[in-house]
Amino acid sequence: MDGGAAEPTGPLQVALAHARQLLQTAPHLAAEQAAEILRAIPAEPRARLVLGAARRLTGDLKTSLEILTPLAREQPRAAPVYLELGAALGEANRAPEAVAALRRAVELQPASPDGWRLLADQLDASADSEGATEARARYLKAANRDPRLMEAAAALVDNRLPAADATLRAHLALHPTDIAALRMRAEVAGRLRRYQDAQQLLERCLELAPGFDAARANYAGVLLRQGNAPAALAQAEQLLSREPRHPGYRNLLAAAHANVGSYAEAIAVYERLLEELPAQPRIWLSYGHALRTAGRTSDAIKAYRRAIGLEPSAGEAYWSLANLKTFRFDERDLAGMQAALARADLSTDDRLHFEFALGKALEDGADYAASFAHYQQGNAIRRELHPYSAQATTDYTRKSLAVYTREFFAARAGAGAPAADPIFIVGLPRAGSTLLEQILASHSQVEGLMELPHVPRLARDLASPEVRQEDFAEAVAGLTPARLRELGERYLTETRSLRRTAAPFFIDKMPNNCFYVGLIHLILPNARIIDARRHPLACGFSCFRQHFARGQNFTYDLTDLGLYYRDYVQFMAHIDRVLPGRVLRVHYERVVGDTEGQVRRLLEYCGLPFEDSCLRFNETARAVRTASSEQVRQPIFREGLDHWRHFEPWLGPLAAALGPILGAYPHEPESF
């Protein structure tokens, strides 16, 4: 069985072949056959493998593992042994060990479809969705005999997405009902963030094969990515109706609950899952995220610590602690992070998380030069993974200003949905938007829904693949009044399912909506729009030191940050000129310096009566997902206003890119 071991011949070969055949139909008889062989030849490894497999198939996991565990040590190059051991460990809810065994199996036998399939299932159980996706791509590569699909799977595994897409397009043109190809192409679209395309492909896949649970799980994930958590929740519940104990589907259920704001339900799902699978670091991590959002910070810290204890190289767990902002690492933590970064086998994702976490730890220790170096290295990794074109944003701004004139908006007055429910808070990340939301959400008539993806999704849907980013405003200009109203109503309908109270107003604080203010005004002319502004160096550096999971690619380079801030200020200044009074600008420094005055100003703009609870916003119990979640649960503190000055020696590229914006703050420069 191992390396160069000779295959048995004669009666033994016949007996083993018969035992293997019985495994598929009558495992108890296979066990008897294997036991007979072992009575004659007690050390025969092939018979022990059959017996271990038979014991697993008959539900005797304890005996199965007692047979397979020592066999794997004796046969370190036997892929079938590790495959069977991984299956038994998985059924025994020992997922980390199962993953290790199955990784060894596919390392020894890369063309094993069963190995990759089982590995994907165990990675799902470990809440490693990216790893499971990769394993399923390997499974498709190993299992499908169609050369074109094998070629596409290989490209998907290697992350050669355009090549995979082209191959799958050609294949589906000839075989449009190939559900494996449809699912693979949806995976390509998802990785390219073409979520609407991925959704349509998966809907077609499920139309053809409603029982294709793996595709349904992908579909739920795509719905979550697009902010349609209620629909994702329904899909997760459907999956669990067939496999109620499936760990991956239960993780999906918890994530959907969290995304619709049902954090108590999400936490309950994670807790039940962890009772059964306590050795899963990624589930502890997800559990920690839910606890943190619900305001249970001390419990979140314990969950993150548990994840680190189970997986010391889990960079995301360390970053999650750092991202609490009010948390401080100790010397042992510092040593652990430094040791992890010294490892040559550390994954890129873990490495960038450790860079940001260590940057925060050193910043707290006042070692600013070393801190900045780690922030810079983490951002360099992110920028390589997610390229960004500052010129494209500048071109978008320039063309939008040409389209959005006073005459343009006047000609469309009265279009859009008339409801005044939404309050949009826009600007750069880390500019104080979470604080403003917490203040307003402390009012009895306002519900805070945090950062919603609905406006960016509307914008993506408006722009066909042929429309360049910089031409978006021209696409908006082609919309009829009826279409503008339809888009406004669609936004209101899609966000309605997220609302949990009877409050007449709700907040959408997606910062990137700053470049969609023109669209927002057209489709929701009575919505309030608040522009959260902060000192450009303070805001820029705060973005640079923050590891954003997605959507903020301009923050990974100081020059890009400065250019983005300039474009944003120029765009908003133009909106002020063509729609005077439409947007309320609120400076973070003024909120800190005169909280009551700025709160009254905010409420007056929103048409709300003053309520003292808005000054005691830190006492408001509500879920907060963003990086400032712990800070807004404390009274306003002034000490952090000039904290960025510790890093001023290294912010030259940001200052240079900002140009006249920097010197003019908090006012707009006379010209750009």
The predicted-structure confidence for 256-285, as pLDDT tens digits, reads as follows 999 888 899 999 999 999 999 999 999 999
Q: Cα dihedral angle (21, 23, 29, 31), rounded to 10 degrees?
A: 120
Q: What's the rounded Cα separation, in Å, for the pair 75 and 650?
A: 56
Structure tokens belonging to residue 524: 């929701």
- 366: phi then psi, degrees, rounded to nearest 5: 70, 20
The tokens for 658 are 């900002």
% of residues, the chain, pLDDT over 90: 68
Region 544-551 average pLDDT = 86
What would the DSSP string read from start to end of 594-641? Answer: SHHHHHHHHHHHTT----GGGTTGGG------STTTTGGGS---STTT
Give the type of residue at 647. F
Query: For the residues 21-48, what does the mean pLDDT come to?
Result: 89
Distance CA 506, CA 442 (A): 11
CA angle 22, 24, 26 (to 5 degrees): 50
Residue in 431, 451, 428, 426 with CA at minimum distance from that of residue 565: 428
d(CA 1, CA 77): 8
Task: Count Cβ atoms within 10 A of the Cβ of residue 206 and give its class: 0-12 exposed, 13-18 middle, 19 or more buried.
Answer: buried
pLDDT grade for 196, boundaries at 50, 70 and 90: confident
Q: Which of 298-302, 470-474, 628-632 reaches the highest mean pLDDT? A: 298-302
Rounded to 5 degrees, φ, ψ at 506 are -140, 160
Residue 83: pLDDT over 50: yes
Measured between alpha carbons, how far apart are the two ends of the chain, in Å? 74
Which residue shows structure tokens 């900002």? 658
For all residues of the chain together, what is the average pLDDT? 90
Using DSSP's 3-state secondary structure scheme, residue 164 falls into: helix
At 420 the three-state DSSP class reads: coil
Is pLDDT at 6 greater than 50 in this prediction?
no
Residue 420, token pair as written in the block: 């005044």
Q: How many CB atoms lie within 10 A of CB 648?
A: 14
CA distance 67 to 47: 11
Token pair for 119: 């590995």
| Tokens (6 digits) for 604 | 């007056």
Sign of dihedral through CA atoms 165, 166, 171, 176?
positive
- Two tokens at 240? 């669990």
**pLDDT tens digits, one per residue of 575-584:** 999 999 999 9
Question: Which residues are registered as beta bridge partners of 587?
Answer: 533
Mean pLDDT, range 7-24, rounded to an integer: 78
Residue 5 has a pLDDT of 46
Identify the CA nearest to 513 among candidates 471, 451, 600. Answer: 451
Q: Which of 96-105, 148-157, 273-282 has the lowest mean pLDDT?
A: 148-157
Region 217-235: mean pLDDT is 92
How does residue 368 score in pLDDT terms, banded at 50, 70 and 90?
very high
State the pLDDT at residue 4.
Answer: 43
Residue 88 has pLDDT above 50, yes or no: yes
Please determine, for residue 508, whether its predicted confidence score (pLDDT) is greater than 70. Answer: yes
Helix (H) or strand (E) holding 207: helix 195-208
The structural domains of the chain, ordered by start, are 11-125 (1.25.40.10), 159-385 (1.25.40.10), 396-664 (3.40.50.300)
Report the C-alpha gap between 333 and 355 in whole angstroms. 13
**Is the pLDDT higher at 149 or at 289?**
289
Count CB-CB contacts under 10 A for residue 332.
Answer: 8
Q: Which of 566, 569, 488 has its CA nearest to residue 531? A: 569
pLDDT on residue 274: 94
Say if residue 669's pLDDT is above 80.
no
Give the pLDDT band (50/70/90) at residue 465. Answer: low
* Residue 431, both tokens: 């500019």
pTM: 0.76
CB-count burial class (<10 Å; 0-12, 13-18, 19+) for 609? exposed
What is the three-class DSSP state of 655?
helix
Decide: 130 and 190 in contact? Cβ < 8 Å.
no
Of 305 and 31, the structure prediction assigns the larger pLDDT to: 305
How many angstroms separate the CA atoms of 353 and 316, rounded? 5
Residue 210 main-chain phi, psi, to 5 deg:
-60, -25
Count of residues in the chain? 672
| DSSP 8-state assignment for residue 194 | -
DSSP secondary structure code for residue 445 in this structure = T
- At how many degrees (to 10) do helices 281-293 and 263-276 cross? 160
